[in-house]
Amino acid sequence: MEGLRGRLLVDGKLLTGTLSWDGGRIAAVATEGEIGGADLPVIAPGLVDLHVHGFGGFDPLEDLAGMARALALAGTTAFQPTLFPSRPVTLGAACEDLGRRARALASGSGARVAGIHLEGPFVNRLAAGALPPSDLCDPSPQALREILGPATGGGRGVRTMTLAPELAGAADLVRELARSGVRVSLGHSRATCAEARAAALSGAVGATHLFNAMPQLHHREVGLAGFALTDAALFAEIIGDLVHVGPEMFELALRARGPEGLCLVSDALRGAGTGCERFASHGRDHVQVGGSAYYPPQEAGGAPRLAGSAMSQLEMVRRLVERGVVGLVEALTMASTSPARALGLEREIGALRPGLSADFLVLRGAGLALEAVYVAGARLV
């Protein structure tokens, strides 16, 4: 049995104590209360990213193992590789291949794959954001079957699908996805509050990157964002680079839902974690500035267009804490415990609790330097 002493994140508090693990599982969590320990490292559950397109120069469709390793070395120990939309048949084949490679990943070699996240193709063209409108399609049972495969199969590893509930035919897909065990997250949408509520009643459980690619809050129609802020039916993703969502709006979301209702996601692209200023992804050039990724201006004098983030979850935790937007406990909870609960994996990951997988981080000092990363009890850093 192995053990570490530090300030443990347990039940929403940092408690001085010792974490022990054996055989890849947490064996014991012995705490002494919130006393002293300022010189001790913070020991937190491994971070869980619900929405990440790439990292460390890797794309999930090209090198899933490389992406999993790069994410783990940055503090994310479980993730949903997130695919951009394409034709349903093409997307289905990609999921088949990606799901097979995810199952073949060696345990403890990198971050675990918690399932595939499809950002589309059943989203609103008027709220496409950085998604290519030409790759979107209308909701239909046939298109869904082309993606998920035979009804007797396992959905090709798809765990989450982002869709727009206001589209014709989307309501039937929400019910079918929920029946099939696929999480429905509402996003890239112009849904009203009533349409979002109806989708939640039919089985939707998430909101994709809160505030982004959805209607602004209005005092007579709060829309999807307002519903996600005021109803606990949805776990709301939120990007923490403070560019996609400004500090004041981030604070509003936290006050409305608390850290238990928000899931800190990176929405990172493959250039994140590389330190490069420019990179190419899916046939398009990107530039990275201040922790965010942009499409370069299309014409002289034009403005760059926000495309995604260039930060890991842990970098976002540091930024949120350093700028006083949230406290350390809240930030770490949003990045680990809440997304694990959103995935229904709270009995496996996302907390320091006996019996759970020994996935945890060791953070040192005020700057939260990453001292060690453990996945299933194996040290990777």
What CA–CA distance (Å, rounded) separates 354 from 95? 34
Q: Are 228 and 187 in contact (CB under 8 A)?
A: no
SS (H, E, C) 266-285: CCECCCCCCCCCEEEECCEE
Active-site residue (options: 49, 59, 241, 267): 267
C-alpha angle 264-273-48 in degrees, rounded to nearest 5: 30
In this structure, are residues 191 and 223 in contact, taking their beta carbons and an 8 Å threshold? yes
Which structure tokens are listed for 67? 């992406």
**What is the distance between the alpha carbons of residues 174 and 204, in angstroms, rounded to a whole number?**
7
C-alpha span between 9 and 368 (Å, rounded): 14
DSSP label of 251: H
Residue 167 near residue 103 (C-beta atoms within 8 A) = no
Identify the burial level of 366 via C-beta atoms within 10 angstroms of its C-beta, where 0-12 means exposed, 13-18 middle and 19 or more buried: exposed
- Paired strand residues for 363: 42, 370
Helices assigned H by DSSP within the chain: 64-73, 88-104, 141-148, 170-180, 193-202, 223-230, 247-257, 313-322, 328-335, 337-342
Give the integer Cα–Cα distance in Å for 172 and 168.
Answer: 9
| Nearest in space to 338 (alpha carbons), one of 260, 266, 257 | 260
Distances (CA, A) of 257 to 138, 214, 237, 262, 334: 32, 18, 11, 7, 11
267 is catalytic: yes
* Active-site residue list: 267
